[in-house]
Chain A
Amino acid sequence: MERNPMRRQLAIMRQSLFDQGHVDEQFVQLEELQDDANPNFVEEVVTLYYRDSARIILNIEQALERKPFDFRKLDAYMHQFKGSSSSIGAKKVKAESTLFREYCKSGNGEGCMRSFQQLKKEYATLRKKLGAYFQLARQAGPVETASRPK
């Protein structure tokens, strides 16, 4: 049935997310929390994450426009961002945030800027991948409802 191929594809996609280091163990935790009562949990959380973190990203961007850099503030924002990112298991994004914070702590403005650019890239990449993943997941449909092909 179609579902199978779709599901297979979904599984491959999922695996690559892990293999490429975009997500980590925490993502699995999210998946485990998804059940009948909460069928779209993972997607919900990720959506919420992107919505909320966009705000933080904006704040950081604005803060980076003000010179001299207020490292404390930047660090605080990033701390927040890191917290949410780690909650959804965004591995690369989280790693980049850690790096950013290191730069903040050492007062390295250049490093901060660079790291932030990199972080935004990772963040966008992850978003795209997860978006595609969820879309496919929705199409593939919940396992239980697998029935006649569309």
Chain B
Amino acid sequence: MRVERVISDENDSFPVGMRVLAVDDDPTCLLLLETLLTKCKYNVTTTSQAITALKMLRENKNKFDLVISDVHMPDMDGFKLLELVGLEMDLPVIMLSANGDTKLVMKGITHGACDYLLKPVRIEELQNIWQHVIRRKKFDRKDQDGSGSQDKPYIDSSEAAGLGNVDQNGKFNKKRKDQNEDEDEERDENGHDNEDLSTQKKPRVVWSVELHRKFVAAVNQLGVEKAVPKKILELMNVENLTRENVASHLQKFRLYLKRISCVANQQANMAAALGSVDSTHLRMGTMNGLGNFHTLAGPDQIHNAAFRSFQHSGVLRRLNTPAGVGISGLPSSGLVQLSPVQNLGNTSTYQRKLQSFVIPGNHNANILQGMPMSLEFDQLQNNRAASHVGQFPSVDNTTVLPVSSISGSLIDAGCSNSPLLGVTSNSLLLEGSSQLPTLHASNLRDSVSGFPNRSTLSDFTSIAPASNQLHGSKADIQDQAFPISCNAGKIISSAPQDWNAPKKDAPYQSNVPSCSINSLRAVNGDMAQLGQCLDQNNPIFNRNVGFDFVDPLSIKCSEGENLAMEPSVIEKEGYLMVQPSRQGIYIPDNEGENFAMEPSVIEKEGYLIVQPRRQGSYIPGNLGSLEDLASAMTKQDHDKGKPTDGDFGYNDYSLRTCI
């Protein structure tokens, strides 16, 4: 009977049974939401904790069709969750809030939300949310179709599989599949169906850290501005990946970068001193976006726009961005820590990457070394730079790890703090960063821990935000970074951001980088990019590294407090953006000079602005490493830590995070 119903209703019954995950810390609203959704005949699962929600989503990617989340939550910022979900699971996310401020809504959009509802929510509004699911599937499908073969088998199989219960073989096109799945879901088949489909050919491409890294590398190679899906696809050389997949991912990535750059800007402003950031940014240059950063770097901060683009790629890298990132406490900064330091395990691979990454450029080690990276690190800075790669001076954690090795090295280095905090694990480049005080590497880690050890995250997470400072921020960043971490891991490499982190504050320094990383992760899809970026970090990182990868993020840090200032901003941006919350950390790219802030200033911004969300879960701190580095670097150079960019530093911070 069910089957029959399904079959006949196949077309009509959707959205019946659509699986929604509702997240809201307010029990009253949650109960209301649940009842409303049930009334709409959806299949509802609720949780009051974002962390739990993430866990559920990660456990089984195909368990849900849609996520509705509140914006203000105690354990994690709704936007961060949004990013993460978007990146990792590529699910449509609807934001919910009692506050309908245009700014917030805008933020939701930039973070990838497909809708923004105001509380109290009315049933009429919920009755139409299924459109987001369909739309997305369609889009995915299209991508898939593009690849052709991929889809076909998928369809067949999926249909069969999906339909499993339904029996609809062949009848359902992919879209239906989803619907069917939904229906199946009701029957409890969903998960199953989904699985089948997955095995067959998931309509949705999962942007794993590796994949994202490749993506970011490709984008960097081509230049963010010039990156076109076709070329990226070619460069990536991955089977079963369609141009459409890449296109949509690129779109997300760009959004991410943009976001980061915005944050970075803010940070940059804050960091003003970061100055050096510019140079670091340059590093990221590869990311095209990053390159722009240079330009950005100069001026104040990472201009969001510029960075943004970069950031994406660079952002991840940037994560570390320094100062900002490192900023202790990076406020939310995106410092996404690339994968929580904890993940170090993952990072190992990543690290390797990073290492290689880092080293290239002069590595970062140089940079890092040169970079005052994270002021906090103090120690780090000096030395290490490239070689550090693993070294992450455990400086507080936030060592901004020279991005390159940071992650890898961080972990290896045993950076105690995992310089990138999260990043280290991730490869947050804390490399050499002479130990940039990876943002609380520990923080990152902690934060990162929040994140499932997605390897990516670990990668990112650590952007070891400027250790000292970042600690605080890092934690956030880590969280943030964490999301990014996924990808971030890679980014972390870029984390050299921290260098920028003006030593002074370096608080955030690394954070930034990490942040991005986190964001990367979070953003799942985007993150992938970031992650890739991170990976890319190597290249980027190198880039940055060379330049003082002051990571915008870190650079920001230098401002010491600059970053801090942005905490809110960063927090928001937190995700990906390694918010150099700490402003100080932003080691303004060593004042720019060191880093050759590559044009890709992006790095600054670009980095995955791993927002070192405080969230703790993320290891936004990761940036620490970069940040630290950055800050250390900047510190040296700048006393202020204000990265040359000052702003940029800050912004860079975000960018940097991208590392």
CB <8 Å contact, A87 and B122? no
B32 at the interface (CB under 8 A from A): yes
With beta carbons under 8 angstroms apart, the residue of B39, B98, B122, B123 that contacts A83 is B98
CB <8 Å contact, B28 and A33? no
B29 at the interface (CB under 8 A from A): yes
A80 at the interface (CB under 8 A from B): yes
A82 at the interface (CB under 8 A from B): yes
On chain A, the residues within 8 Å of B32 by CB distance are 30, 33, 45, 87-88
CB <8 Å contact, A45 and B72? no
On chain A, the residues within 8 Å of B39 by CB distance are 33
CB <8 Å contact, B26 and A84? yes
Chain A residues 23-57 with CB under 8 Å of chain B are 26, 29-30, 32-33, 38, 41, 44-45, 48-49, 51-53
User: How many B residues have CB within 8 A of the partner chain?
Assistant: 17
CB <8 Å contact, B122 and A80? no
B148 at the interface (CB under 8 A from A): no
B31 at the interface (CB under 8 A from A): yes
CB <8 Å contact, B120 and A52? no
With beta carbons under 8 angstroms apart, the residue of A33, A53, A79, A83 that contacts B35 is A33
Q: Least Cβ distance of B262 to chain A in Å?
A: 21
Q: Least Cβ distance of B34 to chain A in Å?
A: 10
Q: In whole angstroms, what is the CA distance A44 to B31 when docked? A: 9
Q: In whole angstroms, what is the CA distance A32 to B97 when docked? A: 22
Whether A86 contacts B123 in the complex (CB less than 8 A), given A33-B39, A79-B72, comes out as: no
Q: In whole angstroms, what is the CA distance A88 to B28 when docked? A: 8
On chain B, the residues within 8 Å of A33 by CB distance are 32, 35-36, 39, 123
CB <8 Å contact, B72 and A29? no
With beta carbons under 8 angstroms apart, the residue of A48, A76, A82, A86 that contacts B31 is A48
CB <8 Å contact, A38 and B99? no
B119 at the interface (CB under 8 A from A): yes
Chain B residues 248-284 with CB under 8 Å of chain A are none
Residue of chain B at shortest CB distance from A101: B99
With beta carbons under 8 angstroms apart, the residue of B27, B98, B122 that contacts A48 is B27
Q: Contact flags (1/0) for A82-105 with B, using CB distance below 8 Å?
A: 111011110000000000000000
Residue of chain A at shortest CB distance from B123: A29
Q: Least Cβ distance of B33 to chain A in Å?
A: 9
CB <8 Å contact, B72 and A87? no
With beta carbons under 8 angstroms apart, the residue of B72, B98, B120, B123 that contacts A89 is B120
On chain B, the residues within 8 Å of A79 by CB distance are 72, 98-99
On chain A, the residues within 8 Å of B36 by CB distance are 33
Q: In whole angstroms, what is the CA distance A8 to B395 when docked? A: 73
CB <8 Å contact, A80 and B120? no
Q: Least Cβ distance of A57 to chain B in Å?
A: 14
Residue of chain B at shortest CB distance from A97: B98
> Which of A33, A41, A44, A89 gathers the greatest number of chain B CB atoms within 10 Å?
A33
Q: Least Cβ distance of A1 to chain B in Å?
A: 31
Whether A83 contacts B27 in the complex (CB less than 8 A), given A41-B35, A76-B72, comes out as: no
Chain B residues 114-132 with CB under 8 Å of chain A are 119-120, 122-123
Residue of chain B at shortest CB distance from A53: B28
> Which of B26, B27, B97, B119 gathers the greatest number of chain A CB atoms within 10 Å?
B26
Q: Least Cβ distance of A40 to chain B in Å?
A: 12
Q: Least Cβ distance of B103 to chain A in Å?
A: 14
Q: Least Cβ distance of A31 to chain B in Å?
A: 12
Whether A38 contacts B35 in the complex (CB less than 8 A), given A87-B29, A88-B28, comes out as: yes
CB <8 Å contact, A26 and B120? yes
Q: In whole angstroms, what is the CA distance A34 to B98 when docked? A: 23
Q: In whole angstroms, what is the CA distance A83 to B28 when docked? A: 9
Whether A86 contacts B98 in the complex (CB less than 8 A), given A49-B28, A76-B72, comes out as: yes
CB <8 Å contact, B72 and A86? no
Whether A86 contacts B120 in the complex (CB less than 8 A), given A33-B35, A41-B35, comes out as: yes
CB <8 Å contact, A45 and B119? no
Q: In whole angstroms, what is the CA distance A53 to B29 when docked? A: 11
Q: Least Cβ distance of A34 to chain B in Å?
A: 9
Q: Least Cβ distance of A140 to chain B in Å?
A: 22
On chain A, the residues within 8 Å of B27 by CB distance are 48, 51-52
With beta carbons under 8 angstroms apart, the residue of A38, A41, A87 that contacts B120 is A87
Q: In whole angstroms, what is the CA distance A86 to B452 when docked? A: 35
On chain B, the residues within 8 Å of A32 by CB distance are 123
Q: Least Cβ distance of B44 to chain A in Å?
A: 13
Residue of chain A at shortest CB distance from B73: A80
Q: Least Cβ distance of B49 to chain A in Å?
A: 15
CB <8 Å contact, A29 and B120? yes
On chain B, the residues within 8 Å of A82 by CB distance are 98
Residue of chain A at shortest CB distance from B26: A84
CB <8 Å contact, B98 and A52? no
Chain B residues 9-30 with CB under 8 Å of chain A are 26-29
Q: In whole angstroms, what is the CA distance A72 to B36 when docked? A: 32
CB <8 Å contact, A87 and B28? yes
Q: Least Cβ distance of B570 to chain A in Å?
A: 16
Q: Least Cβ distance of A93 to chain B in Å?
A: 12
> Which of B31, B36, B122 gathers the greatest number of chain A CB atoms within 10 Å?
B31
Q: Least Cβ distance of A53 to chain B in Å?
A: 8
CB <8 Å contact, B29 and A83? yes
Q: Least Cβ distance of A58 to chain B in Å?
A: 16
With beta carbons under 8 angstroms apart, the residue of A51, A53, A83 that contacts B119 is A83
Residue of chain B at shortest CB distance from A85: B28
CB <8 Å contact, B119 and A52? no
Q: Least Cβ distance of A102 to chain B in Å?
A: 14
Q: Contact flags (1/0) for B85-99 with A, using CB distance below 8 Å?
A: 000000000000111
On chain A, the residues within 8 Å of B28 by CB distance are 45, 48-49, 52-53, 84, 87-88
Q: Least Cβ distance of A78 to chain B in Å?
A: 10
Q: In whole angstroms, what is the CA distance A52 to B32 when docked? A: 14
Q: Least Cβ distance of A137 to chain B in Å?
A: 18
On chain B, the residues within 8 Å of A29 by CB distance are 120, 122-123
On chain A, the residues within 8 Å of B122 by CB distance are 29
CB <8 Å contact, A45 and B31? yes
Q: Least Cβ distance of A73 to chain B in Å?
A: 13
> Which of B26, B28, B32, B122 gathers the greatest number of chain A CB atoms within 10 Å?
B28
> Which of A33, A48, A83 gathers the greatest number of chain B CB atoms within 10 Å?
A83
Q: Least Cβ distance of A97 to chain B in Å?
A: 10
Q: In whole angstroms, what is the CA distance A30 to B34 when docked? A: 12
Chain B residues 220-252 with CB under 8 Å of chain A are none
On chain B, the residues within 8 Å of A51 by CB distance are 27
Q: In whole angstroms, what is the CA distance A105 to B28 when docked? A: 26
Q: In whole angstroms, what is the CA distance A44 to B30 when docked? A: 12
Residue of chain B at shortest CB distance from A24: B120
> Which of A32, A52, A76, A82 gathers the greatest number of chain B CB atoms within 10 Å?
A52
Q: Least Cβ distance of B253 to chain A in Å?
A: 32
On chain A, the residues within 8 Å of B31 by CB distance are 44-45, 48
A-B contact pairs, 13 of them (CB 8 A): A29-B120, A29-B123, A32-B123, A44-B31, A45-B31, A48-B27, A48-B31, A49-B28, A52-B28, A83-B97, A83-B119, A87-B120, A88-B32
A-B complex: 5 closest residue pairs judged by Cβ atoms: A83-B98, A84-B28, A49-B28, A87-B120, A86-B120
With A29-B123, A83-B26, A83-B119 known, 10 other A-B pairs at CB within 8 A are A51-B27, A52-B26, A52-B27, A79-B72, A82-B98, A83-B98, A84-B29, A86-B119, A87-B29, A87-B120
